[in-house]
Amino acid sequence: MALANELEEYKIIQSIPGIGEKIAATIISEIGEIDRFNHPEKLVAFAGVDPSIHSSGKFTATINRMTKRGSSRLRHSLYLAVL
């Protein structure tokens, strides 16, 4: 966390209610360089919190779940922040 204190993003993320030092450090370490995600949807998919859409032919499911692909550590950190 000593290295994280030097980053401006660390303080910005900690300003979100529910996010402390450890969760902020985990989020930053899992995301890495934010520039590698050229669209917000790609970051959402990396975290695995994007909805999966089940469809076949004319049928499209109305109940969809998270894909849970991507970084399980990032997803878990976001879950802890929500609690």
The C-alpha angle 32, 16, 69, rounded to 5 degrees, equals: 45
9: helix, strand or coil: helix
Mean pLDDT by 10-residue block, N- to C-terminus, for the chain (83 residues)?
A: 79 93 93 93 91 79 81 94 92
pLDDT number for residue 18 = 92
pLDDT number for residue 50 = 86
pLDDT number for residue 25 = 93
pLDDT number for residue 58 = 79
Report phi then psi at 20, rounded to 5: -100, -165
pLDDT number for residue 67 = 83
Domain residue limits at 39:
4-82
pLDDT number for residue 39 = 95
| Count of structural domains, the chain | 1
pLDDT number for residue 1 = 64
